[in-house]
Structure 1
Amino acid sequence: MSADISSKLNRLLSTQPSGIVLCSSWLVENGYSLDLQQRYKKSQWFESIGAGALIRYGDHVDYLGGLHAMQTQLDLSVHPGGKTALGLQGKAHYLEFSAKHAQLFGAQGEHVPLWFKKRDWSVDVKCTLSNFLPAEIGLTEITHKQFTVKVSDPARAIMECLYLAPKSQSLLEAYELMEGLNNLRPASVQKLLEVCNSVKVKRLFLYMADKANHAWMQYLDLSRVNLGTGKRAIVASGVYIAKYQITVPKELESME
């Protein structure tokens, strides 16, 4: 291997942490041609995990290492959301948090690369693409291994839970999660409520926060939040909550 090729390899190994995916297109943009990538693979510095994706040879890369690549190299908004995001931030420890499932959210119209979708990450990864919240707000960074990943902050994460409810997320469990969120920042909640375009999510969020008697509720200006008009039945048969014009399960309303 020539000195120049070796120098570029050393630079790549020293600037990029282990545990992540390296996207072939990003490598090309940064001066690592497809031919050079092939040489690195032949020399067993890197190995392919699918079309357009490499990892260090023998490296253990989990789905968060794949997400890091999508966020930092492909500029996608895909991120852990809902209960997964709460679990990664220690906000779901009192519930059964299964490491076998990962719920991701991304913007509608984004294309998750095939290498990510086809890869066996040893967890059941589900990705919901929606514009019910803008892609750029309500995110925070967590450190995982030697790199960082953007995930939904607790306020956005609980809204994502409610977006999935009741079909893919239990409303009772969502309320248990909401009960633990007694230190949300009112300014962050206010902004999310103002830009959220799902009436169901906003009404459920306020109903549950109200029911949990969270102190931060008193600092919200609901006159700036569009809660839509008319009644909304979250479930077919249940209890009607006049204040928020929603019908919720009897078991939820009766929870202490």
Structure 2
Amino acid sequence: MGVSRQLQQVYQSTAWIESIGHGAFRRTGDTVDWLGGLYAIQDQARLDIHIGGRTALGMQGQAHYLELNSQTVHLFSPRSVNMPAWFKSYDWGVKLRLHHTHFLPPHLGLVDVESKLFTVRASTAARAMMECLYLSPDEFDLVEAYQIMEGLNALRPTTVQQLMEQCRSVKVKRLFLFMAEQAGHAWFRHLDHSKIEIGHGKRSLVQGGVYVPKYQITVPKELTN
């Protein structure tokens, strides 16, 4: 914002601002949560780090049972982008988890979500669902993922189509299509499957599951009932 280092020192000496880490400040007496810190990262530092996965779904009402103030905050970025040290080390009252991925283009399927007096960038419901599937089954339960998918009956086919065509993860595409079809969503019928490459060969995602020939994946038994 054009504030010189010398002026920063003056502001600090007069207790107008206080440091929350190297290179980051807040006005003395202000309370800043992780959303405010993320806004600074996105809007001021111009870093490609966005809210995604479970956290993005919760913010947009797609996983209403998730409590934002008590959960792990899931952030996503390209592999070349790292979280600033001040943001990572500050005690925000939540656990921060940054996932470096490249299975989707970094700016595709994002939306501005209003929070207090500013907006932060987060994954749309479709992209967030794919991010959950990317983390499954090791970091995200497939049964929980399907329960969330069941509620995504208002996705736009054009948005899903674009994401699926540019998605580099065969696992994510197969799981997403399988779950959407299993849930009986109307938008699923409007997808052009001929343009979605799902690869070849079987993928066993869980032990002792059920094999789904159409998508060549082995999934938990609960998902095929």
Q: TM-score, length-normalised on structure 2?
A: 0.97
- The equivalent residue for 1:99 is 69
1:115 and 2:82 matched: no
1:86 and 2:43 matched: no
3-state SS of the aligned residue for 2:87? Answer: helix
1:57 and 2:28 matched: yes
**Deviation, structure 1 residue 77:** 1.5
Distance 2:83 2:44 in 1: 13
Distance 2:13 2:115 in 1: 29
Distance 1:120 1:146 in 2: 22
Two-structure CA RMSD over aligned residues (Å): 1.1
3-state SS of the aligned residue for 1:217? Answer: helix
**Deviation, structure 1 residue 106:** 0.9
1:34 and 2:18 matched: no
The one-letter amino acid paired with 1:79 is H
Distance 2:68 2:117 in 1: 23
Q: 2:132 aligns with which of 161, 171, 188?
A: 161
- The equivalent residue for 2:162 is 191
**Deviation, structure 1 residue 75:** 1.4
The one-letter amino acid paired with 2:70 is K
Alignment of 1:163-242 (within 5 A): 163-242=134-213
**Deviation, structure 1 residue 96:** 4.4
Structure 1 unaligned blocks of 5 or more: 1-26
- The equivalent residue for 1:144 is 115
Distance 1:185 1:96 in 2: 24
Matched residues, percent identical? Answer: 53
Distance 1:98 1:69 in 2: 19
Distance 2:4 2:196 in 1: 50
**What is the aligned length?**
224
Q: TM-score, length-normalised on structure 1?
A: 0.85
Q: 1:47 aligns with which of 18, 34, 46?
A: 18
